[in-house]
Structure 1
Amino acid sequence: MKYPFLISIPHGGVDVPAEVRSRMALTDCELLWYSDPATRTLFDFGPSVEALIDTPVSRMVVDLNRPPLPLPLKDPDGIIKTRTIDGRQVYIPGKIPDLALIHRWMVQWYFPYHQRVDELIDAHPVRIAFDCHSMLPQGSQEQSDAGKERPLICLGNYGDTRGKARPGSITTCPEDWIGSLAKEFRSEFPGAGNVALNTPFSGGFISNAHYWRKGIPWIQIEINRSLYEDPSTGGKPGAGNERIPALRERIWQVLVRFWEDLPADCRKSPGDR
C-alpha cells in the first residue's frame, strides 16, 4: 500500500563538485558535519509513499530550502552560504563565487528541485508533504537558540507553539493535523519537551512556497541527531548508523498512525469530498 505522502529531503546530500570544492575553506569532515547527515537514509520510505525527492548535492553548495531573494551573498546563511552556523568562513578569501557562477549553480541544482516538487504533486495523488531534516542537539552560536537544548522532534507549520496561525500569517497545514502528528510522536518519544511545535524551527522556504503554489498541506520534520549519532564519538557524522533502520521504522509508524487516525473526509482529495 502506498500512502499519499510526498517526502522532500533537501539537505541530505554530501556531494561537492570539484569546481566548488576548490574554492572552499572547510575541510571534508566539516562539509559533512554541516549537511543533514544520513537523512537520505533516515527518511527513505521508498515504495511506501507516492513521491520522494532528495538531492546528492550538499547544502553548502546550494541550499534548496532558502528563498531566491534577496540575491545570494546578502544573507550569509542563504542559498549560497558564506558563513556557517557557528561562524566559520565557507570560502577561501578571494574565492567567493560571483553572481554569474551562482546563477549557473542555481540553474543546475536549485530550480530543478523546486520544479520537480511541483511535478510530483501534479503527477501523484499526494495529500500531504513532509520536508524532512535533522538538527543538532543544541543551537549553534549564530542561531536564535544558541546554546539551548533542543527537543528530540520539532514539527513546523509556520504557526505558534500550538500550531495555530500567528497574527497576520497563515500556516502550511491545519492546526489539528500538526497537533495529531505531534500526539503520535509524543506517544513514540515520551517525555516532557521531547516533541515541540515550531520551536526552534517553524518551517523553511520549501514548505512555505509549495504550499502557496499547490495548496497541499506541508509539515517540516526535524529529527535531533542525538537519536542516531553516538555521543562517544563526538557526534561525528555517520557514527551510530546502526541506529538508523530502527529509527526510520519508528518515524514511519508515526506517520502511518497519524494518517490513518485522521477523519476519512480529511484523507480524501478535494475533488472527492
Structure 2
Amino acid sequence: MNFQFKAGSIPLLVSMPHVGTDIPDDIAARMTPASVEKADTDWHLVRLYEFLGEMGASTLSARWSRYVIDLNRPPENTNLYPGQDTTGLCPLDTFHRQPLYPDGGAPDEAEVQRRLLQYWRPYHDQLRAELDRLLSIHGKVVLWDAHSIASVVPRFFEGKLPDLNFGTADGASCAPGLTEAIVSHAHAQQRYTVAVNGRFKGGHITRHYGKPDARVHAIQLEMCQSTYMNESAPFAYRPDLADQVQGLLRQMTQAAADWVRA
C-alpha cells in the first residue's frame, strides 16, 4: 500500500503527504548515506493529529519518504515559489544541501515518470476520490494539509520560522471565513507565533485542490517541529510539548469542521 487512509463521516479531510519514511529497496540502493536519516520528514504528525479519529475526520497519510517523490509538488515539477530555492519533485539533495545521489546517479526523466505513476499518482487519486465522496454527502468540504518542518533551515529562510504557518494561496484556496474561523484560535493564544501566507502559502495540494467555487476549501498548516518534538536526531516526540499544541490543533480543526457544516 502506498498510503494509509481512513474514511471519516464529517466534511473534513486531513492530508499528511510528508510523514512517510519508507524508501523502496531498489531506490535506496542507489542513494547516498544522507538518505538514511530522513531528516526532512514531517515527523510524528499522525500521532500529533490522533484526535481526528474521534472527530470523525478522514485522514490520508503517506508511506513513502519525500526523498522518493514529493507528493506536495506538481507533476510538472514547476517551482511553486518562483525565484526562491526549493527542493524538487524527486529531490536531489536534503534541506541542508547534502546530495541524495552520487555523481551521475540522479533519476532520469524515465525514472521520474515511473515514480509519478507508481508512488505519486495513487496518493492523489485517493485524495481526489475522498474529496468527491465527501462532496457528494455534504455538499462542501475542507481539505487540511498538515506539515511540519525544522524551525531553522537557512537554505530556505532567515532566522527562525513562526511556529504556525498557515497558507491559503494568498486567499485563493479557501473562503476568507474559513481562514478567520481557524486562525482566530491561533491568534487568541500567546504561546505560539503565527503567520498567514508568509513564507508558506500552500503547496501543490492546497493550490490544486482548493477551489472554493467548486465547494472545496483547502488550507495548509506548516508547524515548527520545535512545538512538539526534538529537532535533532533521533527526532523524539515530546509529549510535554505536544500536549500543549495538540489542544490548539483540536480547536482549529474543529473550527474548520464547524465552519463547513454551518
Q: Give the shorter-chain TM-score range.
A: 0.7 to 0.9
Aligned to 1:168: none
Q: Which one of 229, 236, 239 corresponds to residue 236 of structure 2?
A: 239
Q: What is the SS of the residue equivalent to 2:151?
A: coil
CA RMSD in angstroms comes to 2.6
Matched-pair contact (CA < 8 Å) for 2:183–2:252: no
* Same amino acid, percent of matched pairs: 24
In structure 2, do the counterparts of structure 1 residues 28 and 179 end up closer, same or farther at CA, with 3 Å as the change threshold? same
Q: Cα deviations across residues 166-225 of structure 1 (Å, max 9, x unaligned)?
A: xxxxx10122321221111222x415x711101220100011111249540000011110
Cα distance in 2 for partners of 1:228, 1:207 equals 23
Any idea what the Cα deviations from partners look like across 1:244-265, whole Å, max 9, x if unmatched? 45543431123214543x4xxx
Letter in 2 for 1:138: V
2:46 matched residue in structure 1: 40
Q: 1:154 aligns to what SS in structure 2? A: strand
Gaps of 5+ in 2: 1-7, 80-84
CA distance in 2, matches of 1:223, 1:49: 23
Distance between the aligned counterparts of 2:123 and 2:98, measured in 1? 27
Structure 1 position 254 matched with structure 2 position 252: yes
Q: Give 2:59's aligned residue.
A: 52
Partners of 2:59 and 2:14 lie apart in 1 by 5
Q: Distance in 2 between matches of 1:198 and 1:19?
A: 38
| 2:129 is aligned with 1:119 | yes
Instruction: Name the CA distance, whole Å, in 1 between partners of 2:78 and 2:174.
Output: 29
Give the distance between the partners of 1:217 and 1:61, measured in 2 at CA.
28
Deviation at 1:235, TM superposition (A): 2.7
Matches within 5 A, 1:135-146: 135-141=149-155, 143=156, 145=157
| Contact 1:12–1:54, Cα closer than 8 Å, also in 2 | yes
Match of 1:66 in 2: 73
Question: Does residue 1:152 correspond to 2:163, yes or no?
Answer: yes
C-alpha spacing 1:29/1:247, structure 2 compared with 1 (3 Å): farther
* Alpha-carbon distance in structure 1 between the residues aligned to 2:99 and 2:86: 9
Gaps of 5+ in 1: 160-164, 166-170, 269-273
Give the AA of the match of 1:79: L
Shift of residue 138 of structure 1? 1.8
| Contact 2:40 2:149 survives alignment (8 Å) | no
Alpha-carbon shift at residue 55 of structure 1 (Å)? 1.2
Number of residue-to-residue matches in the alignment: 243
| 1:217-238 Cα distance to aligned partner (Å, 9 max, x none) | 00001111001123xxx63253
* Shift in Å, 1:2: 4.7
Q: Tell me the CA shift for residue 71 of structure 1.
A: 7.7
Task: Compute the TM-score of the two structures, normalised by the length of structure 1.
Answer: 0.79
**Which residue does the alignment assign to 1:224?**
224
Q: 2-side partners of 1:203 and 1:249: how far apart?
A: 23
User: Distance in 2 between the 1:223 and 1:237 partners?
Assistant: 19
For the pair 1:22 / 2:51, whether they are aligned, the reply is no
Match of 1:177 in 2: 178
CA distance in structure 2 between the partners assigned to 1:257 and 1:200 by the alignment: 24
TM-score, normalising length from structure 2?
A: 0.82
1: distance between equivalents of 2:256 and 2:179? Answer: 9
CA contact (8 A) 2:12 2:141 kept: yes
> Are the counterparts in 1 of residues 13 and 131 from structure 2 also a CA contact under 8 Å?
yes
Q: Secondary structure at the match of 1:121?
A: helix
- Matched residue, 1:162: none
Question: Do the aligned partners of residues 76 and 181 (structure 1) sit closer, same or farther apart at CA in structure 2, a change above 3 Å counting?
Answer: closer
Distance apart, 1:85 and its partner CA: 2.2
Residue 148 of structure 2: SS of its match in structure 1?
strand
Helix, strand or coil for the counterpart of 1:217? strand
Over 3 Å counting, the alpha-carbon distance change for 1:237 and 1:175 in structure 2 is farther
- 3-state DSSP of counterpart to 1:81: coil
**AA matched with 2:41:** S
Separation in 2, partners of 1:157, 1:90: 31
